[in-house]
């Protein structure tokens, strides 16, 4: 349980959670676990920037103790109240009796509601600084990245940005730096993290990034609160966030996600996929009950569009499709091109319901739904193929 010095006088003292498989309830699967990153900055005074999930306090203390007596800590900086970063703050403040808790004014009520306490709280706003004795911490409020009270901490002398949830990935490993790990997994996890946490906040992400760029802050290291630390070309993740926020980054692929009762909708999905493929785009086929909702949203982030299908059951969608529609409504993949398809017996309510959710998610429905009664005929399969061709032409 060794700490890692990530810059002069800055130590990663967080915790590695190899076992967690679900985040935010069951809305997000963490196939590679996660880390809760906390950073110890040592000057004449000592600051701990962020803490870890409560059940990992011991692991964090063990790393801190390897460097200093934890009682020496003067400041507990809370960039974000969510419990994966604040859960061990009560343990920290019990140990560090003289430590001041530093946060934004918006965090005060949140912290009090999470942890009823009589802590000595010192609030900061954008531009405020704390002098650790030759080492300066400067703060930037970052509302909604990820909660209203969120802020970034910037360690001026070593040019280290500690932006909490922004630029993270759920990726547990013994390595600490982004350039030390499998790049495919790293970027897939960064993409999934953006799609499932930050997508609905894209406007604020873009604004905050542009604001930081305008400030001209030199940045040598970006040390997020989850996953790997960016030290080689750290701005690559900033650039990628801007592309995702603007919807500028797409690949030649279309997601087809569906569920079926008696295989009619599956036959349609495959015919549509062939139509899409014929136009040079790659169809990504996801039978919803065999897939994971957060993986589908991650695939969608860089896709040209999505086509969702369902058999009709009780004049509605199959219930397995509901989580995807819920994700459309809350994650709001704004402007993403979309269409619906499905099969039915006597009433075809499924496609109507799919369209309603796409509209609520501000997606761009580019075609009328394609529906088939009972089992598709050969002629209807040709029409489904053509549906795929037309969709591909509209999203290319
Ligand atoms: Fe990693 Fe919003 O907490």
Residue 71 and residue 136 in one domain: yes
pLDDT at 212: 87
Which of these three, 183, 217, 246, is where a domain ends?
246
Low pLDDT (below 50) residues in the chain: none
Number of domains in the chain: 2
* Residue 204, Cβ density class (10 Å: 0-12 exposed, 13-18 middle, ≥19 buried): middle
Range of the domain at 323: 253-395
Nearest alpha carbon, ligand 1 atom 3: 82
213 Cβ neighbours under 8 A, 6+ residues apart: 238
Residues with CB under 6 A from ligand 1: 80, 82, 84-85, 146, 165, 225-226
Q: What is the 54 CA–ligand 1 centroid distance (Å)?
A: 13
Residue 203 and residue 282 in one domain: no
Domain at 391, CATH number: 3.40.50.360
pLDDT at 88: 96
pLDDT at 243: 96
The two tokens of residue 351 are 């496609």
Residue 185 and residue 299 in one domain: no
| 225 CA closest ligand 1 atom index | 1
Which of these three, 222, 246, 270, is where a domain ends?
246
Residue 239 has a CB neighbour count (10 Å cut-off) of 12
Domain at 191, CATH number: 3.60.15.10
pLDDT at 378: 98
Residue 309 and residue 281 in one domain: yes
Residue 189 and residue 272 in one domain: no
Residue 213 and residue 339 in one domain: no
CB 223 within 8 A of CB 39: yes
Residue 215 and residue 241 in one domain: yes
Going by the DSSP 8-state scheme, the letter that residue 8 receives in this structure is T
Which of these three, 211, 228, 246, is where a domain ends?
246
Please state, in angstroms and rounded to a whole number, the distance separating the CA atoms of residues 347 and 194: 38
The two tokens of residue 345 are 């017996």
Backbone angles phi, psi at 256, to 5 degrees: -120, 115
Residue 216 and residue 77 in one domain: yes
CB 381 within 8 A of CB 388: no
Please state, in angstroms and rounded to a whole number, the distance separating the CA atoms of residues 128 and 269: 56
Residue 291 and residue 171 in one domain: no
pLDDT at 118: 79
CA angle 30, 311, 372 (to 5 degrees): 135
Cα-based torsion angle of the residue sequence 322, 325, 293, 251 in order, rounded to the nearest 10 degrees: 150
| 164 CA closest ligand 1 atom index | 1
Residue 148 and residue 57 in one domain: yes
- Three-class DSSP category at 108: helix
CA distances from 52 to 88, 155, 297 (A): 6, 20, 27
pLDDT at 184: 97
Q: What is the 350 CA–ligand 1 centroid distance (Å)?
A: 35
Nearest alpha carbon, ligand 1 atom 1: 165
CB 367 within 8 A of CB 275: no
Residue 196 and residue 277 in one domain: no
pLDDT in tens, 2-34: 999 999 999 999 999 999 999 998 899 999 999
Residue 200 and residue 275 in one domain: no
Claim: this prediction has a pTM higher than 0.85: yes
Q: Which residues are catalytic, by number?
A: 24, 80, 82, 84, 146, 165, 193, 226
pLDDT at 72: 93
Place of tokens 């040209």: 304
């Amino acid at each position: 349980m060794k700490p890692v010095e990530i810059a002069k006088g800055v130590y990663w003292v967080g915790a590695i959670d190899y076992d967690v498989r679900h985040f935010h309830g069951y809305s997000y699967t963490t196939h590679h676990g996660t880390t809760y990153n906390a950073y110890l900055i040592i000057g004449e005074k000592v600051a701990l920037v962020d803490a870890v999930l409560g059940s990992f306090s011991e692991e964090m203390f063990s790393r801190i103790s390897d460097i200093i007596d934890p009682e020496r800590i003067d400041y507990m900086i809370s960039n974000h109240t969510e419990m994966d970063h604040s859960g061990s703050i009560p343990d920290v403040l019990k140990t560090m009796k003289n430590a001041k808790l530093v946060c934004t004014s918006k965090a005060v009520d949140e912290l009090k509601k999470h942890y009823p306490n009589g802590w000595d709280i010192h609030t900061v706003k954008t531009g405020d600084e704390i002098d650790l004795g030759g080492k300066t911490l400067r703060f930037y409020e970052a509302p909604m990245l990820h909660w209203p009270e969120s802020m970034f901490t910037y360690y001026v002398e070593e040019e280290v940005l500690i932006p909490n949830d922004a630029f993270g990935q759920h990726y547990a490993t013994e390595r600490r730096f982004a350039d030390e790990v499998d790049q495919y997994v790293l970027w897939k996890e960064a993409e999934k993290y953006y799609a499932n946490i930050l997508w609905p906040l894209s406007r604020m992400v873009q604004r905050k990034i542009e604001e930081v760029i305008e400030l001209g802050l030199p940045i040598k290291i970006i040390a997020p609160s989850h996953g790997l630390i960016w030290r080689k070309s750290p701005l690559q993740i900033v650039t990628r966030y801007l592309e995702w926020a603007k919807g500028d980054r797409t690949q030649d692929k279309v997601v087809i996600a569906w569920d079926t009762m008696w295989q009619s909708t599956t036959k349609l999905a495959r015919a549509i996929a062939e139509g899409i493929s014929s136009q040079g785009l790659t169809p990504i086929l996801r039978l919803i009950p065999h897939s994971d909702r957060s993986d589908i949203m991650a695939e969608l982030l860089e896709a040209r569009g999505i086509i969702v299908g369902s058999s009709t059951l009780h004049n509605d969608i199959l219930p397995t499709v509901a989580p995807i529609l819920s994700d459309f409504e809350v994650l709001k993949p704004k402007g993403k091109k979309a269409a619906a398809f499905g099969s039915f017996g006597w009433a075809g309510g499924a496609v109507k319901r799919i369209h309603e959710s796409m509209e609520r998610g501000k997606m761009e429905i580019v075609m009328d739904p394609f529906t088939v009664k009972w089992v598709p005929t050969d002629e209807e399969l040709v029409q489904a193929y053509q549906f795929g061709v037309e969709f591909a032409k509209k999203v290319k």
